[in-house]
Amino acid sequence: MNTTTTGLRICMLTARFYPHLGGTEQQAWYLSEKLIENGYTAFIVTQRYPGTLPKTESIGKVKVIRLSTLWDGYKGSFIFVWTTFWWLLMHANEYDIIHAHLASSHAVVALKIGWLLRKPVVIKFAGARATGDIGTSKKVPWGGLKLSFLRIFGNRFVCPSMEVKDEMVLNGFNSDNIAVIPNGVDTKKFAPADEGQKKKLRVTLGLPAEDKLFIYTGRLQPGKGLEFMVKTWKNVLIKDSTAKLLIVGDGVLIDELKNLADECGITNNVIFTGRVNDVPDYLRAADVFVTASKGEGMSNALLEALSCGIPAVVTDIPANTVLVKNRVNGLVYSIDDTEMFVNIVNRLMSEAGLSQKLGTAAHESVLAKYSVDTVTQQYIQYYKKLVNKQ
């Protein structure tokens, strides 16, 4: 294909999308909007879960096309595979590149269509370790077969960090076919708040006005270390009873975590918000971001917190330490190390000016490398090379 790269059309293929917005879906949305701003065409093809969601709508600047699945779960995924195949085939004149987000069944379909139509297909592996693309694939009966298909027939992969790339190479993927492009964050939306703005936000959101507020944002699911964090908060309170843990998000663990906080007798110091639409406001109202994650590709929640100018307390996995430099823009502790975590939190509570110093550096670190505008330019150059090679 010698098609000109001017006005390239990108079909973003993802199993889930709004209102099911996790990190992968958020990145697809960010990238699509910025591509459109740069004069390209980008749209999202996803599942239409049973319910009232429209088949086609525009969310912001991005057109979203939902393909019927009839059922949830495995039945719905099976139907989505076939509806995706036929949609991509019947609408072949509407896109130049397929960008499949996550190494799931729809990525297999994308490769088959790409081969039939001689169109480039990009597959993004988003995570590493037990909760990453390879780890989750190996947990299901057909996962190994799917990975083998992607490894044999795919030759254009993207991942957000070297940890994900190294895991892919360890599992047989060709290193030369894998581009590392980080996740991006909207630095205008996720921007620091001054003290006056922070106080107003706390009033608006109904949060404690004076307490030190430590925040986690994201899905409440296994692998995030949330059970450790709630249990450990009891130890934090031994030294300072004003420390509040704010858990923003929803997921399968929410009831378990609430029960755990109750069992530990710390319900007055752990605040659960459930799912919210104004995550930037909660981050801007907080003092410190905390996570106990045991595996990531590149955490969107962490990027958003750093962009908001609040320091992060993170586990020492590579996906975190590539973003957080210990004692520079945050603090790092060993996974499941209760004593180390408690000491770090207490240090932030007691050392005047430390949070502000680390937070300023956090915001600057995101502006330098991880703004969505910077990341989009990397993708544009990548897409252009794909089309020129085709």
Query: Residue 147 falls within a domain, yes or no?
Result: yes
- Clarify whether residues 109 and 229 are in a common domain: no
293 and 221 both lie in a single domain: yes
> Does residue 211 sit in the same domain as residue 360?
yes
The residue length of the chain stands at 390
Count of beta carbons in the 10 Å neighbourhood of residue 347? 13
Domains: count for the chain: 2
Residue at 93: amino acid letter:
N
Residue 4 within a domain: no
Determine the Cα–Cα distance for residues 42 and 277; give it in Å rounded to an integer: 24
Question: Does 60 fall in a domain?
Answer: yes
Which residues lie below 8 Å from residue 171, measured CB to CB, with a gap of 6+? Answer: 134, 147, 151
By CB atoms closer than 10 A (0-12, 13-18, 19+), residue 203 is exposed
170 and 249, same domain (yes or no): no
1 part of a folded domain: no
Residue 269: alpha-carbon gap to chain centroid? 27
Q: Are residues 277 and 134 in the same domain?
A: no
Q: Tell whether 145 and 205 lie within a shared domain.
A: no
Residue 189 lies in a domain: no
User: Cβ–Cβ contacts within 10 Å for residue 22, how many?
Assistant: 18
Q: Same domain, yes or no, for 229 and 345?
A: yes
Structural tokens at position 138:
């190996």
Q: Are residues 56 and 28 in the same domain?
A: yes
Shared domain check, 75 and 42: yes
Domain of 217: which CATH number? 3.40.50.2000
Q: How many CA atoms lie within 13 A of 164 on its CB side?
A: 30
Per-residue pLDDT of the chain in tens (390 residues, 90 and over written 9) = 334 456 899 999 999 998 888 899 999 999 999 999 999 999 999 998 767 789 999 999 999 999 988 777 777 788 899 999 999 999 999 999 999 999 999 999 999 999 999 999 999 999 999 989 999 999 998 999 999 999 999 999 999 999 999 999 999 999 999 999 999 999 999 999 999 999 999 999 999 999 999 999 999 999 999 999 999 999 999 878 889 999 999 999 999 999 999 999 999 999 999 999 999 999 999 999 999 999 899 999 999 999 999 999 999 999 999 999 999 999 999 999 999 999 999 999 999 899 999 999 999 999 999 999 999 999 999 999 999 876
Residues 360 and 380 in one domain: no
Domain that holds residue 110: 9-184+372-389
> Residues 179, 157: contact at Cβ < 8 Å?
yes
- Same structural domain for residues 162 and 217? no
pTM, two decimals, is: 0.92
Q: What SS3 state is found at 3?
A: coil
